[in-house]
Structure 1
Amino acid sequence: MQSRSLKTKTVTVFIIILYCVSFTFAFLLSIWFNHYYFVSRKKQYDMQAKVLVKRYVKTLKNDNYDSRKRLHDDTILVGSYVDADVFITDNMGYVSTESNPKFKNIEFQNFMAPDIEELRQGQSIEKKGAYKDVFKEDMYIYMRPAMDNGMFKGAVAIFTPISQMRLELAKIYSLIWSLAVLIGMAGSYLMYYFTKKIITGPLDEINKAATKISKGEVERRVYLKCNNEINELAEAFNSMADSLEKVEKNRREFISNVSHELRSPITSIKGFIGGILDGVIPRDKENYYLSITYEEIQRLTRLVNDLLDLSAMEAGKFTLSITEVDVNEIIRLCVIKFETRINEKKLKVDVVLEDEHLYVFGDRDRLIQIVTNILDNAVKYVNEGGNIKISTRTRSDKVLVSIFNDGPQIPDEDLKNIWERFYKSDKSRTSKQSTGLGLPIIRNILTQLGQDIWVENGKKYGVTFYFTLKKV
């Protein structure tokens, strides 16, 4: 409905504009043609009047029957040519010759008395209106004086009914306005067609796809065969749809993973406690199974805490207490914390720290969490008797921390996924202590600090995690 409304509004506005322009053009063209028509008529009348003036002056100089007859014939011919009534008067304003026999009765009458003085000045006259008792309707009147050597000898007068001229103009006006309407209709159709094809049609496709996506069909896409801003909109829409599909996929995987991670410890807890209550587990084994249950509860607690931390980070509600922290001291504390596990696997740990103290800006507890998590992965995946190297060094205004282990390399297809929630590159070797949320959490922490973290495989063996911190 919204798309159709947009289509209707867009086409309606375009049509209104088109008709306004078309009718305005027709109106201006009509005004121009009206002016052009009367100017042309005046030129035509003036040209024919000149011919009659010459013939009249010549007749006055050679006054005989033949010359008078020729003047009369020429007057009739001019009247027929210009489709008007033509009169020739003498210098007193009396009619001597007329083009229409019905005006024979006004011969030798003082016909031009109202205008004779102006004509004697040698000026042509153009006016509109009735004329004495001869023409009671409005006429277009043109008079030209007949001058010979500066002397006024008479005049030629041409009379055309205004109604006749308006009838001729009306035919032209009807043609102009008909063309304006036809142009408006043709333009409206073309406007509708191209608006639908170029604008509203593609928008309808995008709207339909958006409706499908809103109903859960996140794989729906829009493919347009155009090269304009709407195509860019479609590409942006498809990009958004890709993101939504990825988000939906992540959401489903997240729910699946959370369900699995929660179900596993809950099932164990329920089974062991149920066995104890039912007496299936011997009393001398109860403490053993209770200890396992306690570990599962701790695992469940870690998972819930990690989920809450990650949710707070993604919601922007996770706050850090930024202070000056000695990163070298944190590394020493973390290595000491892992001493038991290091000795159990007979690992060699090489700690190379720049200076005795190296201060950075950060949240102490969260920095401990970052180093602990990465070091935990290093200890977990390195082979027995393997090597771990931890180092810090200054780069400009940053401190670069690297933690290397010479264990198996991370497959290339896993490198880009290790930052995803619940992702475990080697599920068979991942202990129950891992929730699969450690790396996403530490990346979020470093992102809030405005720092980076990345991982690289060695040239032949081993894996190194790098992260930066702001140096004090």
Structure 2
Amino acid sequence: MSTKTINRPSMLRHWTYRYVIILCIGLLSIGLLSFLWVRHSTVQNRLQLMQLLAQELAEKVTSPEGSIKLPNNFGDLIDSRQRFYHIPDHVSVIIKNNSNQMIYSQSNQPNIADPQGDKPAQPEPPKAAQYTVSEPILYQDTTIGTITIGQTKKAITKINQESRLLALLLGGIGLLGWLVIYLILQKLTRPIRDIAEAAKKIEAGDYNIELQNTVKEKEIYELLVSFRGMAVRLEQLEDLRTELLAGVTHELKTPIASINGLIHAVRDKIVTGTEAEEFLDISIKETERLQQMVIALLDFNSFASGKINVEQIQFDLGKLLKEITYQWSLLYQDENLDLITELPPQPLFAYGDPSRIQQIIVNLLNNSRQALSGQNQEQIKVTLLTQSSTMLAIHVTDTGKGIPIEEQKNIFERYFRGGNKKLAVHGLGLGLTFSSMLANALNGKLSLVESSPQGTTFELLLPRI
């Protein structure tokens, strides 16, 4: 089944492209609104200037006798005052008396009306779409006529210079915004690209990665630290996996080789009689040890996948500890081993699964016994204490050689075995891992209290009733 390869853009290109689109839409919206506002303000301003021009012209055409009289060169006067008020293009000027008789008319186009005013007024030109303002012509507070000034809509709304300035401003902002986001994204994506390259190296099996430590952003720095920690952890797990494969292979190969050699010796009658029976007994013990290792692997995998149920019942924890330590001591009564059990005088009831608690305690006792090997004073003490109003504590203490400081942080890791234990004791390194998982399933906790060359103490916390 073929899979289609998706051509994904880089993060820098992806977000820069989207930012530019959003920026363009935003700037176009701002530009449109600004254009409309500037045009509206310009129209209002020009209408006010046209109103002032109309008032000034109304005063100019009023004679001392109270009639409307056009001054000489009235057309030039209009052009001069129009330039003074900065009114663009030509304006139309219409003057009428009270009888609505046209006295003067000048269209928006130049040289249509007689600038001297000594000829009859021309007919009113055809009206185009335009803005107009009117001002009464007063003589002693009496209206003797009106003056109307108009300008085409195209001329009065023309804002070419303002439009160019607005376009340049928005274009500059857009270019600056794109440059800023490009530089920011380039800086932010650089550590992500480094992480991607480091991930490829890890995928190829190379855990020796180098990531920059000079980033100032908190989130990026935390990402780099987490990734670096993950790489170290993966390297440790890879080492453990390699070591596990070698250890399991060795642990399984040794008893199989022993069983194979012993059985062949009996079958080929190299040994006979009592010696043959002894060889068979050794083969049985090796088979049982092999079976125990397989069971340990199966139990751990089953529990890790959540396929083992844990009961929750009430029971006397002191009574259970007494039974566990007694049964365990019977197995090693021939050894020079002092097992002490300290229990409170009053019963202490816990809530959990007695069989699972027995697994944890027995594993701790076995570890303590292995740590005592070769010590002068061999003693293991199991103590039941009241930790709090809700928890009970079981301490398992030995006088063994202790756990090296550098190994203490890894003792609960699956398949981990200490340097001394690898050489002296057969196993898979699952005991404490499995015990810790059981303690958590019982709503408790298994932890290392202390360890030194004088001994080690483990603590198991369990809910009390």
**Length-normalised TM-score, structure 1:** 0.79
* Residue 384 (structure 2) aligns with: 392
* Amino acid of the structure 2 residue aligned with 1:452: K
* Residue 289 (structure 1) aligns with: 279
Partners of 1:405 and 1:63 in 2: how far apart? 126
* Residue 11 (structure 1) aligns with: 16
Contact 1:96 1:108 in 2 (8 A): no
Partners of 2:386 and 2:217 in 1: how far apart? 50
Larger helix share, 1 or 2: 1
Contact 2:104 2:121 in 1 (8 A): no
1:253 to 1:318, Cα distance in 2 relative to 1, 3 A: farther
Q: How far does residue 43 in structure 1 lie from its aligned partner after superposition?
A: 1.9
Q: Helix, strand or coil: the match of 1:39?
A: helix
Partners of 1:397 and 1:69 in 2: how far apart? 112
User: Is 1:419 matched up with 2:412?
Assistant: yes
Partners of 2:391 and 2:244 in 1: how far apart? 35
Partners of 1:102 and 1:360 in 2: how far apart? 114
Alpha-carbon displacement from aligned partner over 1:119-149 (angstroms, at most 9, x marks no partner): xxxxxxxxxxxxx652465454443221112
Contact 1:52 1:71 in 2 (8 A): no
Q: Helix, strand or coil: the match of 1:468?
A: strand
Stretch deviating more after TM superposition (448-457 or 297-306)? 448-457
* Residue 114 (structure 1) aligns with: none
Partners of 1:220 and 1:10 in 2: how far apart? 28
Alpha-carbon displacement from aligned partner over 1:213-249 (angstroms, at most 9, x marks no partner): 3444445465472415344444444444444333333
Q: Report how many aligned residue pairs link the two structures.
A: 447
* Residue 272 (structure 1) aligns with: 262
* Residue 134 (structure 1) aligns with: 125
* Amino acid of the structure 2 residue aligned with 1:150: D
Unaligned ranges ≥5, structure 1 = 112-131
Q: Helix, strand or coil: the match of 1:285?
A: helix
* Residue 74 (structure 1) aligns with: 77
User: Is 1:332 matched up with 2:339?
Assistant: no
Q: How far does residue 192 in structure 1 lie from its aligned partner after superposition?
A: 3.6
* Residue 252 (structure 1) aligns with: 242
* Amino acid of the structure 1 residue aligned with 2:436: R
Stretch deviating more after TM superposition (13-22 or 372-381)? 372-381
Unaligned ranges ≥5, structure 2 = 1-5
Residue identity (%): 23
1:435 to 1:285, Cα distance in 2 relative to 1, 3 A: farther
Q: How far does residue 302 in structure 1 lie from its aligned partner after superposition?
A: 0.9
User: Is 1:47 matched up with 2:36?
Assistant: no
Stretch deviating more after TM superposition (251-260 or 132-141)? 132-141
Q: Helix, strand or coil: the match of 1:288?
A: helix
Q: Helix, strand or coil: the match of 1:404?
A: strand
Q: Helix, strand or coil: the match of 2:402?
A: coil
Alpha-carbon displacement from aligned partner over 1:51-85 (angstroms, at most 9, x marks no partner): 22222224656999xx9437665345335654425
**Length-normalised TM-score, structure 2:** 0.80
Partners of 2:112 and 2:167 in 1: how far apart? 38
Contact 2:395 2:457 in 1 (8 A): yes
Contact 1:89 1:156 in 2 (8 A): yes
Alpha-carbon displacement from aligned partner over 1:23-60 (angstroms, at most 9, x marks no partner): 12221222222222222222222222222222222465
Alpha-carbon displacement from aligned partner over 1:411-450 (angstroms, at most 9, x marks no partner): 3334334334351453387344x55433332222222112
Alpha-carbon displacement from aligned partner over 1:267-321 (angstroms, at most 9, x marks no partner): 2222323344455556653222222222211111111111111112222222223
* Amino acid of the structure 1 residue aligned with 2:283: T
User: Is 1:451 matched up with 2:444?
Assistant: yes
Contact 1:75 1:98 in 2 (8 A): no
**Structural mapping, 1:71-470, within 5 Å:** 74-75=77-78, 77-78=80-81, 81=84, 82=87, 83-85=89-91, 86=93, 88-92=95-99, 93-95=101-103, 102-104=112-114, 109=120, 133-135=124-126, 137-165=128-156, 168-177=158-167, 179-198=169-188, 200-220=189-209, 222-223=211-212, 225-281=215-271, 285-339=275-329, 342-355=332-345, 357-382=347-372, 383=375, 386-395=378-387, 396-420=389-413, 421-424=415-418, 426-427=420-421, 430-432=424-426, 434-457=427-450, 461-470=454-463
Contact 1:23 1:177 in 2 (8 A): no
* Amino acid of the structure 1 residue aligned with 2:16: V
